[in-house]
């Protein structure tokens, strides 16, 4: 049985007191202060606007950490020796740090930014990474981006100390800005040099000293301490070149292997790929993520989710969210092209793991419609409709125009008009917008490469708060906070052509209509459009910033119509209708997290959620911890595992349901193995008597097993710890025909440790 930990109860009392104080001063309560037991603000919601910061590339607030002890100073981009990164050799460190982000909080806050995603804050490999070029020269790189983990329990000293990190967290939180950290659980660092015939490199992983109980030891400042007195504060944990504990897959580069096995088990660019089926690895990574959660962060951007075993990811996310402090944000990088044969895997990843996607589908469609004009605005509209049908939690997907791994959008679209149009559409689309740092300053890279785009903001701009792009973000982040049609609404295309798009976002009676023309120099006339908006005049939320003006709705023969209007070059109009939905009818806009076990905290967002409410998961009543008009904090009740719709009832009115998956317990991995021959087009799946195995429904079975060594198949599956369950292997073909093993059900028991993993024996398919 799950019990409320004492410290949560205590902090809840403090919270109640704070609430009382607030109300006695006549403020209405809103969640802008740290409220969870870790000091976090709570997860990023669709009302937020995220700003993506490559920490080294933003602002140098503390030159004293530019060349930390032991660091080769020639790896700092400072040819003139003034200890200031000059933004020229972008493969080297530039000097940006935690303090630099603190310094720019007013700039971020004034722009309307309510969450930042920063680089992985922990220690990275700090030695040169050499890339041999065909002309014989050598490119020298650093781990400035944070993707070469070395020790998860210490900060990257180029960015600052743990104290600096805590100051950053507090400063952000005091300004209502949530903190999301990049986190890599797929690999350590590069262990072979792909530009030098895979010559051995680093890849080593370190950990702090441990005390007698096996706990890591930190000093009063939160830095790893020399507990065993050997003069070092770290110990080698794992080395891919001498992998005694099986920490790594060690299969070498993926090359052109496009199988699911290749993506998940082989190296991504020679980065030492963790064996996430190994309990030691699971334990270490879960410990690392919980360590950072305990520092009061609000969420994780998970690197390389395409390359990870989804059973691991599901258990990882569950372990993080089940730890003290409640659910945090999880979105990950399932990198796909468009179109991509992996689309279905990508599309279903959030409901399979609980980790949302960065919306690569949206990104490509936006690039094509607003960037290179290779697709029409109508097809951009089609993408919006298709994805809102395809994605279960479309408002939780994280949308973007570009990021650190792709060409800067400005390079693709140097014309302000379509550039601004894209930004305005991003800010009003379903999902949570992520703005790549410098977008608001029109940062223009020297070429189309990702590295050229990772410019040093400090030497490239003057942080001008008066640019049009800055103001577009400011105005629309504000609208996003205030009109739930944007945060929680549906999407409908009202009108589209090759160059023009008119779409509507709607949450019950609330509506936002966006009308946009991507062509800089052409004017288009939009015909009269049917609407459910009341008769009246609607002003442009952007106040004419992108040439928009007001719109009028008239009644024509009993039907309300938006009068015909024109869109001049680059014109964007945002019309908002934002009536109160009242406090009597509960309406759910979103739920975070969407997957968890009995006892977990869940946040239900929407309107009319204050007062006396009953929350149910299916037909089971949940405990309400606190609630206000806009949010309920509840506890997942002890109920049947599987999909249990959440509803909120107030008086005699019940909200629309919201899909939630109740897990039957702490998740661990069972790695199934079977030897089975199949006909062309057939795959092997596992199905069984627990929801994680589809409750015997072949349509809800595991994903297809992997077969790098056909006719042997294997697949890690996330199941509740300690569960004894029945299962069978099945064959399915492309048409969904199912062949069952014709034998009695097989039985297996999952490991009892919460980070456990276990291999089944190699079974043989039974005809």
| Contact status: 266 vs ligand NOJ (CB under 6 A) | no
| Contact status: 307 vs Ca ion (CB under 5 A) | yes
Please answer whether residues 184 and 274 qualify as being in contact, where contact means their C-beta atoms are separated by less than 8 angstroms: no
Site residues for Ca ion, 78-97, by CB under 5 A, read 95, 97
The C-alpha angle 310, 154, 436, rounded to 5 degrees, equals 60
If contact means CB under 5 to 8 A according to the sort of partner, which of ligand NOJ, Ca ion, none does residue 303 touch?
ligand NOJ
If contact means CB under 5 to 8 A according to the sort of partner, which of ligand NOJ, Ca ion, none does residue 476 touch?
none
Tell me how far, at minimum, the Cβ of 345 lies from ligand NOJ, in Å: 17
Tell me how far, at minimum, the Cβ of 147 lies from ligand NOJ, in Å: 3
If contact means CB under 5 to 8 A according to the sort of partner, which of ligand NOJ, Ca ion, none does residue 66 touch?
Ca ion
Distance (Å, whole) CA 368 – CA 342 = 20
Tell me how far, at minimum, the Cβ of 390 lies from ligand NOJ, in Å: 23
Q: Which stretch binds Ca ion (CB under 5 A): 65-73, 404-412, 597-605, 615-623?
A: 65-73
Could you give the residue ranges of the DSSP H alpha helices within 175-273? 260-265
| Contact status: 254 vs ligand NOJ (CB under 6 A) | no
Q: Between residues 96 and 694, which has the closer beta carbon with respect to Ca ion?
A: 96
Distance (Å, whole) CA 579 – CA 554 = 18
Of positions 216, 227, 696, 748, contacts ligand NOJ by CB under 6 A: 696
The HSE-up count of residue 60 (CA atoms within 13 Å, CB side) is 20
Tell me how far, at minimum, the Cβ of 707 lies from Ca ion, in Å: 17
| Contact status: 404 vs ligand NOJ (CB under 6 A) | yes
The alpha-carbon radius of gyration of the chain (Å, integer) is 26
Tell me how far, at minimum, the Cβ of 307 lies from Ca ion, in Å: 4
Site string for Ca ion, 162-191 (x = CB under 5 A): ------------------------x-----
| Contact status: 102 vs ligand NOJ (CB under 6 A) | no
Distance (Å, whole) CA 662 – CA 648 = 17
Site residues for ligand NOJ, 118-177, by CB under 6 A, read 145, 147
Distance (Å, whole) CA 531 – CA 81 = 64
Collapsed DSSP state (helix, strand, coil) of residue 601:
strand
| Contact status: 454 vs ligand NOJ (CB under 6 A) | no
Q: Between residues 386 and 743, which has the closer beta carbon with respect to ligand NOJ?
A: 743
Q: How far apart are the first and last CA of the chain?
A: 41
If contact means CB under 5 to 8 A according to the sort of partner, which of Ca ion, ligand NOJ, none does residue 184 touch?
ligand NOJ
If contact means CB under 5 to 8 A according to the sort of partner, which of Ca ion, ligand NOJ, none does residue 333 touch?
ligand NOJ
- Please indicate whether residue 303 is annotated as part of the active site: yes
Q: Between residues 446 and 745, which has the closer beta carbon with respect to ligand NOJ?
A: 745
Tell me how far, at minimum, the Cβ of 301 lies from ligand NOJ, in Å: 9
| Contact status: 405 vs ligand NOJ (CB under 6 A) | yes
Tell me how far, at minimum, the Cβ of 488 lies from ligand NOJ, in Å: 29
Tell me how far, at minimum, the Cβ of 297 lies from ligand NOJ, in Å: 18
- Considering 239, 303, 321, 394, which one is annotated as catalytic? 303
Q: Between residues 60 and 89, which has the closer beta carbon with respect to Ca ion?
A: 60
Residues 6+ apart with CB under 8 A from 370: 380, 401, 413, 418, 419, 421, 422, 425, 518
Token readout for 239 is 């080395």
Collapsed DSSP state (helix, strand, coil) of residue 336:
coil
| Contact status: 60 vs Ca ion (CB under 5 A) | yes
333-336 long-range CB contacts below 8 Å, 24 or more apart? Answer: 333/301, 333/302, 333/303, 333/304, 333/305, 333/306, 333/358, 334/305, 334/306, 334/358, 334/360, 335/304, 335/306, 335/360, 335/405, 336/306, 336/360, 336/361
Q: Which stretch binds Ca ion (CB under 5 A): 62-70, 399-407, 659-667, 672-680?
A: 62-70
Please answer whether residues 704 and 747 qualify as being in contact, where contact means their C-beta atoms are separated by less than 8 angstroms: no
Distance (Å, whole) CA 298 – CA 38 = 9
> 602: which strand partners?
634
Q: Between residues 116 and 365, which has the closer beta carbon with respect to Ca ion?
A: 116
| Contact status: 745 vs ligand NOJ (CB under 6 A) | yes
- Please indicate whether residue 80 is annotated as part of the active site: no
The HSE-up count of residue 94 (CA atoms within 13 Å, CB side) is 23
Tell me how far, at minimum, the Cβ of 305 lies from Ca ion, in Å: 10
Place of tokens 């100073």: 73
**Closest alpha carbon to 318 in 357, 290, 346, 277:** 290
If contact means CB under 5 to 8 A according to the sort of partner, which of ligand NOJ, Ca ion, none does residue 164 touch?
none
Q: Between residues 7 and 740, which has the closer beta carbon with respect to ligand NOJ?
A: 740
Q: Please tell me the total number of residues recorded for the chain in this structure.
A: 767
Tell me how far, at minimum, the Cβ of 220 lies from ligand NOJ, in Å: 33
Q: What is the separation of C-alpha 290 from the centre of its chain, rounded to a whole number of angstroms?
A: 17
- Considering 298, 333, 359, 394, which one is annotated as catalytic? 333
| Contact status: 184 vs ligand NOJ (CB under 6 A) | yes
In Å, the largest CA–CA distance within the chain is 87
Distance (Å, whole) CA 560 – CA 494 = 14
- 670-698: b or e for each residue (b if 16 or more CB lie within 10 Å)? bebebebebeeebbbbbbbbbbbbbebeb
Q: How many CB atoms lie within 10 A of CB 583?
A: 13
Of positions 36, 55, 66, 511, contacts Ca ion by CB under 5 A: 66
Please answer whether residues 102 and 167 qualify as being in contact, where contact means their C-beta atoms are separated by less than 8 angstroms: yes
Which residue has the CB atom at the shortest distance from ligand NOJ?
Answer: 147
Q: Between residues 305 and 395, which has the closer beta carbon with respect to ligand NOJ?
A: 305
Count residues binding Ca ion (CB under 5 A): 9
Q: How many CB atoms lie within 10 A of CB 397?
A: 23
Q: What is the DSSP letter of 553?
A: E
**Closest alpha carbon to 121 in 92, 150, 89, 91:** 150
Tell me how far, at minimum, the Cβ of 476 lies from ligand NOJ, in Å: 26
Q: What is the DSSP letter of 368?
A: I
Distance (Å, whole) CA 265 – CA 260 = 8
Of positions 255, 740, 747, 752, contacts ligand NOJ by CB under 6 A: 740
| Contact status: 28 vs ligand NOJ (CB under 6 A) | no
Site string for ligand NOJ, 295-334 (x = CB under 6 A): --------xx----------------------------x-
Tell me how far, at minimum, the Cβ of 187 lies from ligand NOJ, in Å: 7
Site residues for ligand NOJ, 704-733, by CB under 6 A, read 728
Q: Between residues 159 and 218, which has the closer beta carbon with respect to ligand NOJ?
A: 159
Q: Between residues 495 and 696, which has the closer beta carbon with respect to ligand NOJ?
A: 696
Site string for Ca ion, 256-285 (x = CB under 5 A): -----------------x------------
Which spans of this chain sit near Ca ion (rule: CB under 5 A)? 60, 62, 65-66, 95, 97, 186, 273, 307
- Mind telling me the catalytic residues? 303, 333
Residues engaged in binding ligand NOJ (CB under 6 A)? 145, 147, 184, 268, 271, 303-304, 333, 404-405, 696, 728, 740, 745
């Amino acid at each position: 049985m799950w019990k409320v930990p004492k410290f949560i109860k205590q902090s809840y009392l403090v919270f109640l007191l704070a609430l009382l104080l607030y109300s006695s001063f006549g403020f209405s309560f809103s969640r802008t202060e740290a409220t969870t037991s870790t000091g976090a603000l709570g997860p990023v919601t669709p009302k937020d606007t995220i700003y993506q910061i490559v920490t080294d590339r933003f602002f140098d607030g503390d030159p004293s950490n530019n060349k930390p002890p032991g660091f080769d100073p020639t790896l700092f981009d400072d040819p003139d020796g003034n200890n200031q990164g000059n933004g020229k050799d972008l493969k080297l460190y530039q000097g940006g740090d935690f303090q630099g982000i603190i310094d720019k909080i007013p700039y971020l806050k004034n722009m309307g930014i309510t969450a930042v995603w920063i680089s992985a804050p922990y220690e990275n490999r700090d030695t040169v990474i050499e890339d041999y070029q065909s002309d014989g020269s050598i490119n020298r790189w650093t781990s400035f981006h944070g993707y070469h983990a070395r020790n998860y329990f210490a900060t990257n000293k180029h960015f600052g100390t743990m104290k600096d990190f805590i100051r950053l967290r507090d400063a952000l939180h005091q300004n209502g800005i949530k903190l999301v950290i990049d986190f890599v659980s797929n690999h350590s660092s590069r262990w072979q040099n792909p530009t030098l015939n895979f010559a051995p490199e680093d890849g080593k992983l370190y950990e702090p000293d441990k005390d007698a109980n096996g706990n890591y030891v930190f000093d009063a400042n939160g830095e790893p301490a020399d507990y065993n007195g050997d003069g070092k504060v770290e110990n080698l944990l794992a080395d891919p070149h001498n992998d005694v504990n099986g920490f790594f897959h060690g299969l070498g580069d993926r090359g052109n292997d496009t199988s699911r096995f290749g993506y998940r088990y082989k190296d991504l660019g020679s980065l030492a790929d963790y064996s996430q089926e190994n309990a030691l690895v699971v334990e270490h990574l879960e410990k690392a993520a919980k360590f950072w959660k305990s520092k009061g962060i609000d969420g994780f951007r998970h690197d390389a989710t395409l390359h990870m075993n989804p059973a691991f990811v599901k258990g990882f996310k569950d372990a993080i969210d089940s730890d003290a402090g409640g659910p945090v944000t999880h979105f990950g990088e399932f990198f796909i092209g468009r179109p991509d044969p992996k689309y279905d895997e990508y599309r279903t990843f959030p409901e399979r793991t609980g980790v949302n996607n960065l919306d690569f589908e949206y990104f490509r469609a936006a690039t094509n419609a607003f960037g290179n004009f290779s697709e029409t605005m109508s097809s951009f509209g089609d993408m919006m409709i298709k994805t809102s049908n395809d994605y279960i939690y479309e408002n939780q997907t994280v949308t973007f125009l570009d990021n650190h791994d792709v060409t800067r959008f400005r390079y693709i679209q140097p014309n302000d008009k379509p550039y601004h149009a894209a930004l305005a559409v991003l800010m009003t689309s379903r999902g949570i917008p992520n703005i790549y740092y410098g977008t608001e300053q029109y940062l223009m890279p020297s070429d189309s490469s990702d590295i050229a785009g990772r410019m040093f903001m400090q030497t490239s701009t003057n942080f001008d708060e008066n640019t049009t792009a800055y103001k577009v973000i400011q105005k629309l982040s504000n609208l996003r906070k205030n009109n739930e049609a944007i945060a929680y609404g549906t999407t409908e295309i009202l009108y589209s052509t090759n160059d023009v798009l008119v779409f509507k976002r709607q949450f019950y009676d609330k509506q936002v209509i966006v009308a946009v023309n991507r062509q800089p120099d052409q004017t288009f006339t939009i015909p009269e459009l049917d609407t459910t908006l009341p008769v009246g005049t609607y002003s442009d939320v952007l106040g004419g910033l992108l040439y928009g003006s007001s719109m009028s709705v008239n009644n024509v023969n009993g039907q309300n119509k938006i009068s015909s209007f024109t869109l001049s070059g680059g014109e964007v109009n945002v019309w908002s209708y934002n009536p109160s939905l009242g406090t009597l009818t509960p309406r759910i806009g979103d739920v975070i997290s969407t997957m968890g076990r009995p006892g977990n905290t869940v946040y239900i967002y929407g309107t009319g959620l204050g007062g006396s409410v009953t929350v149910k998961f299916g037909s089971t009543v949940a405990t309400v911890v606190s609630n206000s008009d806009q949010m309920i904090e509840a506890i997942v009740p002890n109920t049947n595992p599987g999909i249990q719709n959440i509803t909120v009832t107030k008086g005699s009115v019940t909200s629309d349901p919201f899909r939630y998956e109740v897990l039957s317990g702490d998740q661990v991995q069972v790695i199934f193995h079977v030897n089975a021959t199949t006909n062309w087009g057939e795959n092997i799946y596992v199905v069984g008597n627990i929801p994680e195995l589809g409750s015997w429904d072949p349509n809800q079975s595991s994903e297809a097993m992997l077969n790098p060594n056909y006719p042997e198949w294997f697949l890690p599956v996330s199941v509740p710890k300690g569960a004894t369950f029945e299962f069978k292997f099945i064959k399915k073909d492309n048409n969904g025909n199912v062949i069952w093993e014709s034998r009695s059900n097989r039985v297996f028991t999952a490991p009892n440790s919460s980070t456990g993993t276990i291999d089944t024996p190699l079974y043989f398919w039974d005809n």
